[in-house]
A = this chain, B = another copy of it.
Amino acid sequence: MIHPTAVINDKAKLGSGVSIGAFTIVHENVVIGDNTVIGSHCELGIPSSLSDGSPLIIGKSSIIRSHSVFYAGSAFGDNLATGHRVTVRERTEAGESFQIGTLGDIQGHCKIGNFVKFHSNVHIGQHSTIGDYVWIFPYVVLTNDPHPPSNVMQGVTLENFVVIATMSIVLPGVTVKEGALVGAHSSVNRDVAPDTVVAGAPAKFICDTKEVKLKDGSGESAYPWRRHFHRGYPEAAVAAWVAEFASAKVV
């Protein structure tokens, strides 16, 4: 399951059932959980002074697709899943079931919760803080410098269940509050209230998220999305969501 062309440092700690693709490099300071699959042409655990000597830790049952690069000094829970050509720098801490789409670029020094999903080509600036069940769509950038270039770093905060749609940026120091939706092609320069939709550049209040209707003929609200979208989440979470909205449906 380790391809003969892979270059694996003897001191790397690989769990049982780990698979490693052709032409992949695993450095010394790496810990990979059981049954994790690493694709081809990857480089894991690149040494760096910014890692403070910490290893790269990848949880169990994960999949890292080809041409991806992870530095030493970051830690991921179980069931990490990445697309191709992902870059993850030092001091990234993520919970379980984190999904990073192809071309994702995580600059490190950031905290990411559980069940967070990034679609392709998402850029996460340093000092970002991301809650649980957050979705970020393609070509979104979370920034951090209010007057670039400078030494002032004001990270972005995305609370639980936030959704940021395609080609949007969130400006430094902004907090997008729980359940809010940033529409596509927007630039968010101030905090966004919970469960509201903002859009535009600069982004302005559009409506409450519950006013967005599902375009499936049901007439139901599209948000909170956990009302109708369950693919890839654990059974227990889905059961709780179903219960949460069961009474609402009766009304």
A interface residue numbers (CB < 8 A to B): 5, 7, 21-23, 25, 39-41, 43, 66-67, 69, 83-85, 87, 102-103, 105, 107, 117, 120-121, 123, 135, 137-139, 141, 143, 146-152, 154, 163, 165-167, 169, 171, 184-185, 187, 200-201, 212, 214-216, 222-223, 225, 228-229, 231
Contact = CB atoms under 8 A, between A and B. Distances in A.
Given A146-B215, A147-B215, A166-B169, 6 more contacts: A41-B67, A121-B121, A123-B139, A138-B141, A148-B163, A154-B215
Contacts of A187: 167, 184-185
A21 B139 CA distance: 30
A229 B151 contact: yes
Contacts of A117: 149
B216 A152 contact: yes
7 contacts: A5-B7, A40-B43, A103-B105, A137-B148, A147-B225, A154-B215, A169-B185
Contacts of A83: 87
Contacts of A200: 201
Nearest to A23: B23
Given A41-B67, A147-B222, A169-B166, A87 B84 contact: yes
Nearest to A185: B187
A110 B109 CA distance: 34
A166 B216 CA distance: 32
B163 A185 contact: no
